[in-house]
Structure 1
């Protein structure tokens, strides 16, 4: 199952910079684990925002929820999830 997920980070103004740096480092490591195993094959930055658009290739909505809710930045993110289906005009 393919899903497009737009993640927008809302950084707290009063967060300690060292705490934030640690969260960002853990976020990168966590996300790259799913990039390597094929569950998170695409990510694009949204220009001018602390936001990205990503594609997830998962077995179920429950698996997607588990992955997303365990991102270290999850408490600071707004997410919009869209289920995707193959377009009949697609070449592949």
Structure 2
């Protein structure tokens, strides 16, 4: 199942810089692991915002929730999820 996921990150301004850096480092490690596994298919930064648009390819909504909730920045995110399905007018026969 494909999902379009928007993640807006809102770290507290009072968070110590070292803590924020450690969270971001761990976040990158987990995100890259999910990308390498094929679960996190695409990741785009939204220019001018601490936010991203991503495409996840997982077996279920539960698997998506588990993947997202393991991210260290999860407690500081506002997340919007939209399930996707192939459009009948698409010229592509696959998800490339």
What displacement does 1:91 show?
A: 1.8
* CA–CA distance in structure 1, aligned partners of residues 15 and 7 of structure 2: 20
Gaps of 5+ in 2: none
Q: 1:47 is paired with a residue of what secondary structure?
A: coil
Q: Which residue of 2 aligns with 1:43?
A: 43
Query: Any residues of structure 2 matched to 1:75-86 within 5 Å, and which?
Result: 75-86=75-86
- Secondary structure, aligned partner of 1:75: helix
CA distance in 2, matches of 1:63, 1:42: 17
Moved over 4 A (4+): none
Structure 1 distance, partners of 2:91, 2:30, is: 32
Point out where structure 1 has 5 or more consecutive residues left out of the alignment. Answer: none
Tell me the TM-score normalised to structure 1 length.
0.98
Matched, 1:66 2:66: yes
- 1:2-31, Cα deviation, whole Å (9 max, x unpaired): 000000000100001001000000000000
Q: Could you tell me the TM-score, scaled by structure 2's length?
A: 0.94
Count, aligned residues? 92
The 2-side partners of 1:12 and 1:35 are apart by 27
User: Pairwise CA RMSD of aligned residues?
Assistant: 0.6
Shift of 1:46: 0.8
